[in-house]
Amino acid sequence: MSCLALTGGKPVRKKPFHNSVVIDGDEWRYVREVMKNKELSRFMGSPTRDIGKLLVMPSKDALNYRGQYFSFLGGKMVRRFEADFAGKLKVKYAVSVNSATSGLSTALGAAGIGPGDEVITTCLSFNATALSILMFNSIPVFVDVDPKNFCLDPRCVEKAVTKRTKAILAVHLLGNPADMDAILRIARKHRLAIIEDCAQAPGTKYKNRFVGTIGDLGVFSFQETKNITTGEGGMVITNDPGLARKARLIRNHGESVPDISWDEGSLSNIVGMNFRMTELTAAVGIAQLKKLDRNNSERLRNYRSLSKGLKGLPGLSAVELQEGVIPHVFPLIYDKAKTGVERAKVLAALKAEGIPAGSGYLKTMYDNPIFLRKIAFGKGHCPWSCHLYKAKREYKRGDCPVAEDLIKEKFIWFYHINRPNGRDDMRDVVAAFKKVFGNLAELRGRSVKTDLGYKW
């Protein structure tokens, strides 16, 4: 085997991998239409009285509605993107937002989550999952993950339920669906809402149902690294007209809509939000949604190619995809006990070969000063100090050992399985891994400067 690039050899690859942004004539056509019409956002100021049926109108019907106050639901591109998205996932309502973070907060707010309420969620996700819970002064309760799918472990969820628990926020991590049958049983038993974070899983199915359509609300991301990308943006979906109504109000300055006749439940959680998507963003989204199936099929093909090519390498195992799963990245499980080499050295060697592999998340969500020190709003430990939350909640390292072990020792992620990266690119990945794992003895005896961070 040739000398490792990390120690002066020639790297397998110098060419950078493609990012997730795949643009063609469709995006330009819709964007030009927006610019030609000079309508960058058609959301209008909210009316001062109830707008009735518009708030619960299914997205496919809202597309062509031209009655009074139609602009409360946005412009032509926004409503078309919502109608297309709802049709794709076979739900009644799709509510676009300016980010998936906003979407998660919107979904929680629509479900009536508020001060003093606990929301059970995974410890293994991007920070936005947990921070969205804080938006309405609710309390995140972190639980460990199942090592088979890296999603919520239902046994841990059940143990975490208290009289203050109001919702479960399940994350379908890396495209893998959580065990929704078990989570549904827990939710029904304790009368809890279920919100699905599908940021990394558009197109994934759980027992022939799209993720996001199983719980009460589903939330998707269109951030630049995602399977559908508009730069920033998100979508909230549901089949419940009441939840759609509240989500639309939260999204668009809903506090200016009600009159004195509204009851307390209708008024709650619609204060001061502007989570609206622009027409330009929606225009890109319309074109991107058309590419989803092709993009997903390419991710799946690249994933399978890597799984086959890396089979048999010592201390390395690919995660077997379950039926219906669309992968977001390519995760591997590394076992130092079988190689005698620290994972950080392996990652450094791969990067030197031109392969941008990483460790995934650098820490669990609770291993963040916001949670360790409970400092969110102001300096008075709000919302944990809220008089409506009559409990003591502490977060500390070691709370979720399975997730911490994955992050600190076992995860190796390769990020670029997206189109237009293809067969030749995957061959380079396989060649680099084989080169590194064929020279593990060279890594054992060397001091290597390591950096687990990775810039997408």
Mean pLDDT by 10 residues, the chain (456 residues): 85 95 95 95 76 92 86 94 98 98 98 97 97 96 97 98 98 98 98 98 98 98 96 98 97 88 90 93 98 97 98 95 96 97 96 96 96 94 94 95 97 97 98 96 78 44
What is the pLDDT, as a whole number, of residue 42? 87
Instruction: Tell me how far CA of residue 411 lies from CA of 84, 148, 358, 361, 453, in angstroms.
Output: 36, 13, 8, 9, 13
Question: Is 226 a catalytic site residue?
Answer: yes
Cα–Cα distance, 64 to 433 (Å, whole number):
53
Angstrom CA distances, 47 to 20, 247, 383, stand at: 40, 17, 32
Which residue type sits at 115?
Answer: P
C-alpha pair distances (Å), 26 with each of 30, 216, 285, 289: 6, 33, 10, 11
Whether the upstream peptide bond of residue 140 has omega within 30° of 0, thus cis, is no
Contact 345, 448 (CB under 8 A): yes
User: Which residue out of 226, 345, 351, 435 is catalytically annotated?
Assistant: 226
Question: What pLDDT does 316 receive?
Answer: 97
Q: What is the pLDDT of residue 377?
A: 93
* pLDDT for position 49: 66
* Total-model pTM: 0.95
Specify the 3-state DSSP secondary structure of 423: helix
Q: Both tokens of residue 411?
A: 């995860």
Q: What is the reported pLDDT for 453?
A: 47
The pLDDT value recorded for residue 456 is 32
Task: Give the orientation angle of helix 76-89 with respect to helix 279-309, to 10 degrees.
Answer: 30
Q: What is the C-alpha separation between 266 and 362, in angstroms, rounded?
A: 40
